[in-house]
Amino acid sequence: MTAERKNLLRARTTTVPFEPSWRRDGFGGTLRLLWAHLLTSRGLLVSVGLHALLLLIAFVWVISVMKEQRYKQPEFMATGAGGGADGDRARILEHNLQLKKAKATAKTVSRITSKNPAAQISLPELPSSKLADTLNTKPTGSSSKGFGGGSGGGFGAGKGIGVGNARNFVGKPVMGAKINATKLAVFLDASRSMARYLDRVEAEIRKQFPDADVFLYSGIWTNVKDDTIIGGLKYKGSTGRTGSAPVRATDPDKLTATGKRIFSQYDANFRTGCVGAWLDIMRSEKHYDGIVIFSDFQDGVTQYRTPKGEKSDGYSTKNATIVYSDGMRSTLPTDERKPAEKRWEEDLVNAFAGAKAGRGPRLYLFSTQVEPQPIFNRCVLASGGQVKMVEWLRTGGNPPTDDEQVSLGKPTPVKADGSSGTPAAVRALR
């Protein structure tokens, strides 16, 4: 065997010692091996668990920080617009702030003593107590609805100041009177004798009440059949009697939405019952807090009694008996009505009496010639309105500058029952 062959056999049988991979492949090879293990399923689970642990630690840390901020009591509180400002925590915090302010502003008064019983001591004036003022101060809320912000908690609806019965409302001057109202309905006597006044009167009213609803009908009469005002709220009969046509009709385009509704619904009633029907219907309209009637008040009130056995379901007064009349041309010496036939007057007066409590309109009467009839005067007294004689309109003059005619009637004062004690024919001459 040759020497070369012996060396080859020796090399094949020689055992090679084990060498670690990191020594054989170096540090880079080791990293590649670890990355390969991580890509396996076992390595993926380890990675997911590690990330979940980190997320849990972060969540616990955030919750702890939020709790610390929540329990920290602020120095001030911003409330929402609703009832949140009335919550328990809001009241407690407000009370604490008031006590802090009181302590900060309170002054210590030194104690003064004297051993001489006859000594004259002048005590200093104590500072005004701010503690009582502070504690008596009540937090005010807003007048809107919504969530209570801050620590108020819960829903809340504030209550604002609405329009009441106009007690604090400054009256607006109209032809010598002062009208305490915001929404006005006006009845103008558009008969021929009143035609020359209409334009000026409407202009005077619209100076102070541009959106007033003005209704024009011919005459100023009121007809009552038994105990029902013809054309009024309780009237169930037919309509159609109109009398003479007015010199100027109601213009629907000048009416508000409420005025248009009333005109469309009750125009036939007003033409049938004139001012009596108009007054009886308008007294129940909640939209208006003031009602104005302008006329010479010559026609007055006429009440009829239906004969027994006849139906009282229409405006016709044929065969009916006149039991009361107070117009300028009336010749009836007495009132022959029974108590049941006067109930319509009490209903009308009671409706206007609610004006003083904000539950009805005030009544204002302007007359160029005759003092208004007793029932109208009673309604004015009950509502707290005014009666104004405006004879100066006949000459185209101006209202008096002073307020000497504030009381009802001129010059005779009106009694509690609405009468002036002066016959209508005499009143017409004034």
Average pLDDT score, the chain: 75
Mean predicted confidence (pLDDT) in 231-242? 86
**pLDDT confidence tier of residue 342, bands split at 50, 70 and 90:** very high
Q: Assess whether pLDDT exceeds 60 at residue 129.
A: no
Mean predicted confidence (pLDDT) in 145-158? 45
Report pLDDT for 208. 95
pLDDT tens, position by position, 20-56 = 555 555 666 666 666 666 556 566 677 778 888 888 8
Token pair of 372 as six digits: 């208004």
Mean predicted confidence (pLDDT) in 213-220? 96
Report pLDDT for 271. 94
Least confident of 117-126, 166-175, 341-350: 117-126
Report pLDDT for 8. 63
Q: Assess whether pLDDT exceeds 60 at residue 115.
A: no
How far is Cα of residue 318 from the mean position of the Cα atoms in its chain?
48
**pLDDT confidence tier of residue 232, bands split at 50, 70 and 90:** very high
Instruction: For the chain, count helices (H), then strands (E).
Output: 10, 13
Q: Give dist(CA 397, CA 399) in Å, integer.
A: 7
From residue 284, how far is each of 30, 148, 167 by CA, in Å? 100, 39, 20
Domain boundaries, the chain: 182-428
CB atoms closer than 10 angstroms to residue 267: 16
Q: Assess whether pLDDT exceeds 50 at residue 147.
A: no
Q: Assess whether pLDDT exceeds 80 at residue 211.
A: yes
Report pLDDT for 354. 92
Report pLDDT for 171. 86
Mean predicted confidence (pLDDT) in 75-92? 50
Mean predicted confidence (pLDDT) in 174-195? 95
Report pLDDT for 184. 96
Q: Give dist(CA 269, CA 287) in Å, integer.
A: 19
**pLDDT confidence tier of residue 141, bands split at 50, 70 and 90:** very low
Tokens 């908690």 correspond to 153
Report pLDDT for 150. 46
**pLDDT confidence tier of residue 325, bands split at 50, 70 and 90:** very high
Number of residues written out for the chain: 430
Query: Taking the alpha carbons of 99, 101, 104, 109 in that order, is the dihedral positive or negative?
Result: negative
Torsion over CA of 213, 216, 217 and 223, rounded to 10 degrees? Answer: 30
